[in-house]
Amino acid sequence: MKKVRFDGLTIELVSGDIVQQPDCDAIVNAANAELQTGGGVAGAIHSASDPELAQETRPFAPIKPGEAVITSAPNLPNKYIIHCLGPVYGRDKPEDKLLKNCYKNALLLAEENGIESIAFPAISTGAFGYPKKEAATIAFQTVKETASELDVVSFVRFVLWSPADYNLHWDVLKEM
């Protein structure tokens, strides 16, 4: 586990599973446009949750790349799930702006909902094919740029699936 402080925010990196972050008010889903279950993070969250989640997301769908919506977190230890649709690398353009919008919109939605602690997966870096180092740079830059707009949100965790992803993210963060 690694931690850095920035402008009143703690940014933490861990290796692990997004559905096992009981100490965070909200977890972020790397969703599909339909906000239904799928592979990777979306599959893990919908499986660990309840069919009620798919019912709660349905009225919001479809969402566009870069958008974020918030729901409750049935059967999970968190209060909220923030669902973000990342860009498909090579298809949804401009990818960097769309990925940035995901992180920014999720953080602002957290702020509006009184969320103090939030856990992100590495959005778009699985099925959507975003190169991990570039995605990590955008993720951290966006958190830093948005920090001045956040009073309530004070803790941002990145949950990286593999030790290799964790190491790559730490290399990027410490350079910044």
Q: Is 32 an interacting residue with respect to ligand AR6 (CB under 6 A)?
A: yes
Which of 103, 140, 161, 166 binds ligand AR6 (CB under 6 A)? It is: 161
Q: Is 21 an interacting residue with respect to ligand AR6 (CB under 6 A)?
A: no
Q: Is 127 an interacting residue with respect to ligand AR6 (CB under 6 A)?
A: yes
Q: State the minimum distance, in angstroms, from the CB of residue 174 to ligand AR6.
A: 19
Q: Is 87 an interacting residue with respect to ligand AR6 (CB under 6 A)?
A: no
Nearer to ligand AR6, 66 or 126 (CB): 126
Residue 168, amino acid: L
Helices (H), 49-131: 51-57, 95-112
Q: How far is residue 107's CA from residue 153's CA, in Å, rounded to a whole number?
A: 8
Angle at the Cα of 55 from the Cα atoms of 53 and 58, rounded to 5 degrees: 110
Q: What is the dihedral of CA 11, 13, 128, 53, to 10 degrees?
A: -80
Whether the CA torsion 6, 150, 163, 21 is positive or negative: it is: positive
Q: Is 136 an interacting residue with respect to ligand AR6 (CB under 6 A)?
A: no
Nearer to ligand AR6, 18 or 26 (CB): 18
Q: How far is residue 147's CA from residue 9's CA, in Å, rounded to a whole number?
A: 7
Q: Is 40 an interacting residue with respect to ligand AR6 (CB under 6 A)?
A: yes
Q: State the minimum distance, in angstroms, from the CB of residue 107 to ligand AR6.
A: 17
Q: State the minimum distance, in angstroms, from the CB of residue 3 to ligand AR6.
A: 18
